Each structure stands twice: as C-alpha cells, then as structure tokens.
Structure 1
Amino acid sequence: MPDAVPDSVPPLPPGLTTRPLQKSDAHAVFVLMAAQEQEDIGEVAIEEADIVSDWAKPSHDLGARSVGVWDGDTLVAYAELMGADRADTSVLPSHRGRGIGTWLAHWLEDLGRSLGSPVIGMPVPQGSPGDRLLEALGFHVRWTSWVLKLPEGASIPERDLPAGYTVRTAEPGELRAAHDVLEDAFLEWSVRERESFEDFEAATTGRPGFEPWNIRVALDPDGAVVGVSLVLVSDNGSTGYVDRLAVRRDQRNRGLAQALLVDSFARAREHGTSTAELSTDSRTGALPLYERVGMVAESVWVNRGLELTTTTENAL
C-alpha cells in the first residue's frame, strides 16, 4: 500500500489514527469482527483461528495489504485485501455513521487499482449497514451465500459408498492430492488465481487447534484421492464446520459428497460437537443438495464487488 493515503480517500474523523496491521493484531481484529457480527446477525461466526490461518499464508503481505483504524488503543475498524479481489472490512458498531466505512472502501479501491486488480469484493450480511453502504457506493451483488446448519440432534441420511471406495483421515502424503481436488473443483466456478499448496498447507495444518482428522478424504478403488472435506471444530467445541467440500468432476453423482458430509459431522460429533454447519453460495448450485439432507439456512450473505478501472500509469 502507498506510504500516504491517496488524496481521493475522504478524511477520517479527527482523533483516529491508522497503521498497517501486524500478526500480533489478530486478537484485536477478532474482537472487532465479533462485535460487528453480533450486532448484524445476532451471533459470532468468526473465530480468531480463521484470522490467524489466513495471515499464515506465505503469499499474503499483511503489512502492504491491510490497514487498521485506531481510537486510542482500541481497534475500531480495519480492511485488508487478499489475492486479487478478496477484501474484508469491519467497523465497530459504536463507531458507525462517522464515515469510517466509506474511508475503508475508498482505501481498498485505491489499493486494488495500485495492484492492478480488476475488481474488489467483500462479503456482508444481506440487509446489514455494511450491505447498504456498499450498495450506495456502487458495489453490486456478485453472488449470494448461505450459512446452513444441521439442527441439533439431527443426522444426515447415510449413503452407501460405491464398491471399493473408502472415506478416512488423509495421510500426510495425500495432502497435495487433496489440495488439487479442492482447487480443481472450486476453480470450476470461482474466478481467481489458483491457491498455492504452500498457502493451503499453512492455512490448514498451520491453523491453531488443527488435528490430522480434520482433513477427510474419499479414495477410489485404486487409492486415489477423489473427494475431500475439511472439517473444523468451533472454539467452544459445540459446532462442527465443513470449511470446504469437493469431489473430483469425474467421480460425482456417486454419493461421495453425502458420504463425506456424514463422515465429517460424525467425526466432529465424536469430538464433542452437538451441531454442524457449512456455507455455500449461488455459484456452486449446491444449496438444494444441503437442503435435501436436512440442513437449514441460518443467515444470508452477499458478496458485493466493484469493478476497477486501472490507469495506464498503474498498469505499467
């Protein structure tokens, strides 16, 4: 990011200070985001481990791609840009209505242009103050996401695996294959650069609290990894969360995704969880699948994006 905030960014209210974030700020960012989620959706979905694992990725230059807004010693807002277009922002509810969110949006726009990003986008709860602000600033809805929950005590109907297929914990030597299955599947509908294996490894096995059983794989009769589920347990131990789920294109419609879901939630329950969650978005077309197995939408988010016009000077 530039050493000085560009002139095109409206000024912040007097008394606030800014600086790039550091890894030691992860807890402050978590507290900030938790306060905003509690206000907007009535619960806290973010975990500090989510932030720590994102910031562990070797490709992410936190100092160059983030900014924190401080009121004395309190972090009251932040923004960061990961990859070409994934932005995250948050403003403390007590500091809303002061133009801070607008400042962050302009800051991200200028940063994206300086990096040559064609678009920047960020997720916000549908109908929230952040959603309304971004709409007013010209950000359009790129896709809709749903956080789905399996009601407490419910279970997903089991689906028999095809003959010769198995589901189990991934072995260390299978991590690259698991990464390939996930990336190949997600890049069928997600417009972004391919995630490096190093970033994947840092954000999964390097995540606080990670245990080997968190990576579940489906194997074909030859022992090849053809399906993957990354399942996490919430900090309070109550919820099993499927962070990513994918099946290789040529192995679909055989019940592998449902078998991986059953296995993931069962293993999480063995580790003390009582509910299960996952999220999906309108690009995948997977919502009906999860609804058919008894999952219900708990919250709706939209990803709003802004197309950027890169100047000739920045493009050189």
Structure 2
Amino acid sequence: MTTPSGPGHVRPDAGLDAIMSERRQLINIAYRLLGTLAEAEDAVQETYARWYAMSEQQRDAIVSPGAWLTTVVSRICLNVLGSARARRETYVGEWIPEPLPEQSEWSTGRPGGTTADPADRVTLDESVNLAFLVVLESMTPAERVAFILHDVFCHSFAEVAEIVGRTPAACRQLASSARRRIRASQPPATPPAQRAGIVRDFKQAWEAKDIDALVGLLDPGATAIADSGGLAMAFLHPIEGGEQIAHAWIEIARRRPGGMTFLERTVNGQPGLVAQLDGVTVTVYAFDVVGDRIKHIWVVRNPEKLRLWTTG
C-alpha cells in the first residue's frame, strides 16, 4: 500500500512525532482484530520495529508511512488470528475478548494506578462492544480483517486486497459475509438509557438476592459465559437459561466476601458492572440487552485481562 488513504496518513518527510502519532489508530485497528489489548500492543510494537529496521533511504521511499504502518499491523494481526484458534483450544475454560473501561478510568495496572498513555487507548464505539467482538470471533481471519478495515476504518477493497492477499472482489465478498453474520446476530439496539436501567435493576436484584426479579430481567434463553483462563475461580462451561443463571447469581451473592462491592461501570462503551475486592477490580461483567431483557452475560475474571481496571 503506497498511496495516501485519507486523513491520518503522514508524508515521507514527517519526523518521529508524526510517525508515532499513528500509534493510536494502529492500536484501535489491532484491538478490534485481535480482541485483546496485550496482543494489539505487541502487534503495534512489532510494526514499529519493522519500520525502524529499514534504512533511512527505504523509509523515505514510502509515499505514505501511515498507510504502510496500517498494512503491516494488519498483516501481523492476520497471522496472529491464524494461530489464535489453535492456542485457544488449550485455553482453560471459555475465551472472551478483553474488556475495556471508560477512557478516564484506564490504568496501567502498576502500583498507584498510573494512567495509561492516551495513544494506547481504544476509541469506544459500537465496533468494540462485547457482543460485536464475540461475533467477530466466529469469523475467519480474512473475513474479520476485510470487515474491520473496510466497514469500520473505511479502507478501500483494493487496499484490503493488498493486505489479505486476495482480489478486491474476493475481499468484497468476505466483508459481505461478515456483515451478514453481524446482522443475523444483532437485533435492533435497545436505547442506552434503557440498557443502563436494566443493568442497574439487575445489580439491585442481585444484591437483594431476589431470584424472581432476576428471572424477570433475564431472557428465558439467556446465556452466561465466564473467562478465568484457569487463573481465578469461575464456572468453566456456559450457563444456559434465565432461571439457571438467576440461581447461579444468587449462589454468587451468598458467597460474596465481606470486602466486595459491585459498581456500575461502562464496559466497552456499554453499561456493565464490576466487582471490587478491597478496592481492586477482580471481575468485570458485560451485558447484551435485547428489548427489555438480558440476553447474554460475559464474566471476565482472568487477571491478565483486567490490568486496565486495576485501581489499587
């Protein structure tokens, strides 16, 4: 990819600041493609390593460094996606994309809760809500790359074709197939205020151990999935059915440690909950609300996926 492609692409005479200004865009692309910020950061770091491994003359010959960086990070992500399925077969329990807090709450996870660099933050919009990312996980790597680059980041199919090694027509078909998956899995959106109200009602019913209220808030066909990576206590298999989930959550409430609090938080741009033990986030709950019922609950307990939530 050697031609400029819209705003954000820098000229070849740009200095270090201009090259590094592409970092946030690259992080945003890589997170949507890979589903974890750690892997996204690794992909972006490798991209910059390849840039600076070239000679100055080679870098100067690139018409659009921003487009070059996007191409390289996308190809790296494509390779990672190709091996991810095999890696996840050995993962303990279910695998859920890494949840992200509100921009103002990002922490490095180091003592003192140091704020993360704004250049490392992911823009929170509909393309990063957990329901959307879970659907992306069902796609082939090529479908995922074609859809994200074209539909989310507005790259042409000619540019996508250069990245995935297929024709523009084939990339168009890949994106179309991905689009159909998204449409089939996502019913009309519930208004944000209504979603927040349902999650709040769920929290109150949970804390009150009101099983009838919980059942009323859950879709009869609801599912709950937990991700601990074998590093924390969690149910290993999905819980299916609103009543079964309600009973499980009542049991969780009964076993709640004395120093644990449940707080309303934004999770990937959507209303969610977090559990904090003595001020430290130990669990993140994301919800998919359809109409006036909760259809899916994703529970992330793997501490490696909670580093941005660490507050103490």
TM class by shorter chain equals under 0.3
Give the TM-score normalised by the residue count of structure 1: 0.28
Greater helix fraction, Structure 1 or Structure 2: 2
Greater strand fraction, Structure 1 or Structure 2: 1
Give the TM-score normalised by the residue count of structure 2: 0.28
